[in-house]
Amino acid sequence: MTQLNCSSAAARQDANRLTQIKHLRRHSANQIHDQLLEAPMRAHEIMARNVLTIAPEADLAEAGSLMLRHDISGLPVVDRQGALVGILSESDFLRRSEIGTQRRRPRWLEWVLGAGAAAESYVRERGRTVSEIMTASPITVNEQTTLAEIVDIMERNRIKRVPVVQEGKLTGLVSRSNLMQAAASLAGRMPAPTTDDEHIRMRIVDEIENKDWCPSGLNVIVKDGIVHLSGMIAEERCRKAAIVAAENVEGVVKVHDHLRWFDRIYGLASERSPEDEEWAKLD
């Protein structure tokens, strides 16, 4: 009888231990899940760096030519101190007197809106400098803003890009294409980038961004040591230099090339990098 009681006690102890182990496992899994939720991707991880900018006093013809040559739809406007003062986008060129698309309102509506609205439209339709037609005091984020917050801002304000500002200076730009690139590169992978990935990304950016051959709108994404490079290059030699720079950083497993080529003179640009072209053929 004593032996049976001992066996029952041992069984109960084993059952209790098993319950404790299961509880610890569930607790650990919940902790990991909470950590993932607490560590979302942020602007600095996907933003384009070395962003093309233009001065507020620049001529509109110069601005338009720059946007066409580099195949971009928006330009941050930066003053001589490096402070962001506005954004110039394709939409700012839609209502222009040169092409006969200026806004024509009924007289009664102009009376309702007042002289100020009519004067503002006149300037935007006939202005000659960037500062006269740009969107002043644009919405901005900082490097620590989460991607979820950035998407909310874009949808709420119906904008395609958000400048990233740190300590009053422009440090980057997050556009819809940057978000799409991040989603495509990391599709199917839930965990946020590790500390090692972030160190690798920072070392690649530090190595490339101050070089004369640095791609315009450089964007670097790293996941599990796998690097995705995107941006615009004017020469194929710049592509090779960027890839080599990334490959030489310790911890890099592989480098994927998404760098697009553009012609400075004719304003032509490729839709995909050679690597992306090869992948497209397999789809």
Q: Is the pLDDT of residue 5 over 80?
A: no
Sign of CA dihedral 211, 275, 201, 51: positive
Domains in the chain, start-ordered, CATH in brackets? 186-283 (3.30.1340.30)
Identify the pLDDT of residue 138.
92
- What share of the chain in percent tops pLDDT 70? 75
Spatial neighbors of 12 by CB under 8 A, at least 6 apart, are: none
Give pLDDT, residue 187: 58
Give residue 195's pLDDT band: very low, low, confident or very high (50, 70, 90): low
Q: Which of 80, 77, 87, 82 is nearest to 56 (CA)?
A: 77
Q: How confident is the model at residue 100 (pLDDT cuts 50, 70, 90)?
A: confident
Who wins on pLDDT, 277 or 169? 169
Dig out the tokens for 57 from the structure: 């006093």
For residue 127, pLDDT beyond 50: yes
Read off the tokens for 63. Answer: 């601005």
Query: What's the chain's average pLDDT?
Result: 80
pLDDT at 253 over 80: yes
Q: What is the mean pLDDT of residues 187-193?
A: 49
Enter the pTM of the model.
0.58
Q: How far apart are CA 278 and CA 261, in angstroms?
A: 15
Q: Provide, rounded to the nearest whole percent, the portion of the chain with pLDDT above 90.
A: 39
Residues 162, 154: contact at Cβ < 8 Å? yes
In the prediction, which pLDDT does 131 show? Answer: 92
pLDDT of residue 49: 87
Query: What is the rounded average pLDDT of the residues 80-103?
Result: 84
pLDDT digits (tens, 9 = 90+) for 8-28: 555 555 555 545 544 444 444
Instruction: Annotate 104-121 with b (16+ C-beta within 10 A) or e (fewer).
Output: eeeeeeeeeeeeeeeeeb
CB atoms under 10 Å from CB of 56, counted, come to: 17
Residue entry with tokens 């993932």: 36
Asked if residue 262 lies in contact with residue 232, where contact means CB atoms within 8 angstroms, the answer is: yes
pLDDT at 267: 66
What average pLDDT does the segment 153-166 reach?
93
